[in-house]
Amino acid sequence: MTAVHQLESTLRSLKLGGMLDTLEVRLVQARAGELGHQEFLQVLCEDELNRRAATAVTRRVRAAQFEEQLSLEDFDFTVSAKLPVSAIRDLATLRFLDRLCCSRRSPSATCRRCASWTPPNWLDD
């Protein structure tokens, strides 16, 4: 058994499919001198995290049993000229949550400032 086959077997045993899926590409990059040891391991770990995040989203969407899967990218904003496209896209980023002063997000644990904060109303423009 070669070292690569042994590594693949180990990754399979550890259930590290994201690393396994990109191992060949990453090995080629490492052999070409594009990745050092630390970068090689870092990129493989990132590949695994990305695969797990994608799998989690897929699992949650399946569990939600939506009739149709729609995304904001597929939405037709030309239907109404009154729709504030930039505001809707901004809300979709959830950046407004960063403006809360409390690190705790539960309503019972917020401070007075966070409890009184309301998001801007872009639809009244």
The model's pLDDT over 5-54, given as tens digits with 9 standing for 90+, comes to 898 999 999 999 889 999 999 999 999 999 899 999 999 999 999 999 99
Whether this model's pTM surpasses 0.75? no
Work out the number of other CB atoms within 10 angstroms of the CB of residue 89. Answer: 13
- CA pair distance 18, 81, nearest whole angstrom: 43
What's the full length of the chain, in residues? Answer: 125
Confidence at residue 80, expressed as pLDDT on a 0 to 100 scale? 79
Q: Which two tokens stand for residue 79?
A: 């239907």
Q: Which two tokens stand for residue 30?
A: 């490492």
Every domain of the chain and the residues it spans: 3-64
Confidence at residue 45, expressed as pLDDT on a 0 to 100 scale? 94
Confidence at residue 120, expressed as pLDDT on a 0 to 100 scale? 58
End-to-end CA distance of the chain: 68
CA dihedral over 75, 76, 79, 80, signed as positive or negative: positive
